[in-house]
């Protein structure tokens, strides 16, 4: 079991969730505010995609990323910022005869590796507990799950609060941003 857990919040993702949740963060301002709310709720890391503010679809526009980062950094909230431009479908494996044979089970992670596990939809919180039990860290957020409970839309902060409660009820401690940086060997940028 991991007794010192880092919570990451995947704020918005790039998937087609805008029409399925009334408050998916879309604009740089909304994404930054939701990331900051998640940080205040206990997330040490915020995992941010950006979206086209007009269409709500995933984007790789560097100016949108700059605005999100500037808004987060200009706040008084310390959080590790993890930017990603992945939109899915960018992974190509092969052309070997066995492209998905990555080796035996015990060879997938080296001993002492830091890892984070997550699940989508209603299994998200079950995987919070499972990851901690297996020695990992956790990720929650609207990128992977839109609901707090059946029919009740979540916010990123609510999902982080619930994950934090699970971690703490398991007897583990949630690490803050500075402790996460130390754990992962990250350097804080000005």
Band (160; pLDDT cuts 50, 70, 90): very high
Pick the closest to residue 129 from 158, 171, 183 (CA basis). Answer: 171
Reading the block at residue 114, the tokens are: 């830091």
- Taking only the tens place, the pLDDT of each residue in 17-42 is 888 999 999 999 999 999 999 999 99
Per the document, the length of the chain is 190
pLDDT tens column, 40-94:
999 999 999 999 999 999 999 999 999 999 999 999 899 999 998 876 555 556 5
Taking alpha carbons only, the member of 9, 49, 47, 52 closest to residue 27 is: 52
60-75 in b/e form (b: 16+ CB < 10 A) is eeeebbebbbebbeee
Q: Which residue has the higher pLDDT, 187 or 161?
A: 161
Say how many CA atoms lie within 13 Å of 13 toward its Cβ: 17
What DSSP character marks residue 9?
A: E
Question: What whole-number distance in Å separates Cα of residue 49 and Cα of residue 135?
Answer: 27
Please give the C-alpha separations between residue 3 and each of 24, 66, 93, 165, 170, in angstroms, as whole numbers.
Answer: 32, 35, 35, 14, 9
What's residue 49's pLDDT?
Answer: 94
The average confidence (pLDDT) of the chain is 90
């Amino acid at each position: 079991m991991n007794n010192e857990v880092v919570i990451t919040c995947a704020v918005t993702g790039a998937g087609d969730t805008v029409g399925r949740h009334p408050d998916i963060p879309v604009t740089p301002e909304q994404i930054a505010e939701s990331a900051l709310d998640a940080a205040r709720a206990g997330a040490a890391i915020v995992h941010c995609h950006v979206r086209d503010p007009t269409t709500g679809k995933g984007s790789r526009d560097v100016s949108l990323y700059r605005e999100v980062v500037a808004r987060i950094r200009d706040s008084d909230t310390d959080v590790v910022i993890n930017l990603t431009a992945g939109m899915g479908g960018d992974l190509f494996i092969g052309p070997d005869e066995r492209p998905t044979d990555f080796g035996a089970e015990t060879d997938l992670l080296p001993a002492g590796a830091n890892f984070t596990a997550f699940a989508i939809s209603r299994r998200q919180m079950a995987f919070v507990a499972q990851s901690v039990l297996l020695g990992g860290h956790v990720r929650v957020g609207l990128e992977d799950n839109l609901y707090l409970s059946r029919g009740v839309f979540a916010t990123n902060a609510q999902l982080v609060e619930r994950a934090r409660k699970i971690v703490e009820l398991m007897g583990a401690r949630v690490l803050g941003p500075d402790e996460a940086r130390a754990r992962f060997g990250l350097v804080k940028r000005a």
